[in-house]
Structure 1
Amino acid sequence: MDMPGEYGSYVTAWRRFRRWQEEGVWDIILQTLRDRAHQAGLISLESVSVDSKTIPAKKGANVWVTMGTR
């Protein structure tokens, strides 16, 4: 509801966001950005890591791990 009105209805934006999430659009976007950055020599995939020290687990994180990821 905090979205500026110039972007249209927040309900439409939310529905579109959810649909894109369910269809895997965000995964495709992130993979494409990663691949292009790697091909351009902007990142090294050998040095990329994420662990609990870089991103702390929030309350309920164990439920997400149980459910799995896409």
Structure 2
Amino acid sequence: MARFDLTDFEWSVIQPLLPKKSRGVARVDDRRVLNGIFWRLRTGAPWADIPARYGPHTTCVNRFNRWRKAGVWDRILSAVSKAYDGGIQMIDSSSIRVHQHAANGQKNRRDPVAWVARAAG
């Protein structure tokens, strides 16, 4: 178990909320895939860089997208928050440094593409 992998308590809250697949090829372990998805979201690395211990990266990205469309993530986040008595305040945040003149500078109202086209003509 890696440092940030799901605890047994977290897994006990999440496991009942996951879709069950009853036929076809055997599923890659959901807990392992979830840990891979969380690793990717925590690090911001590309999907292809998910460590092999979490299974195929294609499985992680496909399951992430499928569960997003099915609303599974909403149920998971709600259940985990409730299990911790609403004590979870933030899951992820990002800070992006912007050039000092980018935020409040005078906006150039001219269309740069049209200007280039007129100069070339």
TM-score by length of 2: 0.31
Task: Work out which of the two has the higher radius of gyration on C-alpha atoms and give 1 or 2.
Answer: 2
Considering fraction of residues, name the structure with more helix. 1
RCO higher in 1 or 2 (8 Å CA, sep ≥ 6)? 2
TM-score by length of 1: 0.49
